[in-house]
Amino acid sequence: MTTITLVQGDITEQRVDAIVNAANSSLLGGGGVDGAIHRRGGPAILNACRDLRASHYGAGLPTGEAVATTAGDLPAEWVIHTVGPVWQGPGSDPTLLASCYRESLRVADEVGARSVAFPAISTGVYRWPVEEAARVAVEAVRAAETGVEEVRFVLFDERMFWVFTAELS
Ligand code: APR
């Protein structure tokens, strides 16, 4: 049974087994959550990402897929990197956004993570409308067959926190 919790705060401060990164396909860092995770987690994460690019992900991590690395100096065991879809305007297909949550939980099960913190994937630089992104996120987590016991949505600002709260009620 997976419990879903909501926290307003910084995902890099969450003491969980795995922290999910809203990455881009290069896996080589960026702004937003990605920037915060690499800044706080230190070079070990980027080194592990570079190794992934040199081995399994020569062309980068495809949108909707997920892969785990060390969490470096973060208060977690793993970072699970996933690449959300960029919003293409009204009618954008949210299938790949749902896949980010499903695949991140599948990777969490592979590494044995029992608690997983998610940001609101694709709702920043990738411009996904927050209400739809929250609905997709909650539906995908609720539908997932996973051994993860706690899924924690970590919302950076109050507005996002209330949007997710409304989705969960
Ligand atoms: N903790 C929790 N949430 C955060 C944090 C943080 N430290 N920093 C930002 N956020 C929130 C944003 O407010 C937004 O709601 O995470 C959500 C996702 O925003 P982005 O980080 O911009 O991610 P995304 O929209 O998926 O875009 C990914 O941005 O940073 C680049 O390299 C990344 O190219 C990729 C793109």
Q: Where are the domains of the chain?
A: 3-168
* Domain spanning 3-168, CATH class: alpha beta
- So what's the pLDDT on residue 29? 97
Q: Which residues line ligand 1 (CB under 6 A)?
A: 10-12, 22-24, 30-36, 84, 119-126, 154, 156, 160
How many alpha carbons lie under 13 Å from residue 67 in its C-beta half-sphere?
21
Torsion angle defined by CA atoms of residues 143, 145, 146 and 149, in that order, rounded to the nearest 10 degrees = 50
The pTM for the full model equals: 0.98
Distance from the alpha carbon of residue 136 to the mean position of ligand 1, in angstroms:
16
Structure tokens at 30: 């960026």
- pLDDT tens track for 18-65: 999 999 999 999 999 999 999 999 999 999 999 999 999 999 999 999
